Structure 1
């Protein structure tokens, strides 16, 4: 199975995961401190959205990488592929 090889994309995904990890620690702290279930639920929602957007970003980076490896488009085609991937990312983001 291919891996995400672009260093900038990998760094972006890892940074997003670190932020989500911090949010999860915040939820744990809220529970330990006895915060209200409503506030905790709001934070759970934020964590889920952060993880969903990270998964989407990772998937799009992987698709871009693999399309580039398979198609090897010329400069004119590359712009079209990039635009199509941006549109696809926007559409998929609305599903969550």
Structure 2
């Protein structure tokens, strides 16, 4: 069993807007938020159930895609921090984290 994931360290507020990967993820989340609001409106207005289910599937796919991108971002940060002359156990820990994170997608 892989060791528990370390607490994610919080990037400095000044770093967040400069990181294009995080900005892209934030944009995707905002788009998904808009889709969810649209779904709420559809339910409130009594839209066709099939149309609602179709939109729910689209939101789910968008969130899964965003989760994969966030996982990639995490791995990129970890590999950048740990892989420079990292001992094999550090690389194993990173790969264990990747396996755990990707397992949460489904």
TM-score with structure 2 setting the length: 0.64
SS state at 2:8 partner? coil
Counterparts of 1:4 and 1:17, CA distance in 2: 18
Aligned residues: 77
- Gaps spanning 5+ residues in structure 1: where? 74-91
Q: Which runs of 4+ in 1 moved over 6 A?
A: none
For the aligned residues, what is the CA RMSD?
2.2
Partner of 1:2: 8
TM-score with structure 1 setting the length: 0.70
Higher helix share: 1
- Gaps spanning 5+ residues in structure 2: where? 1-6, 86-101
Partner of 1:11: 23
Partner of 2:41: 29
Partner of 1:76: none
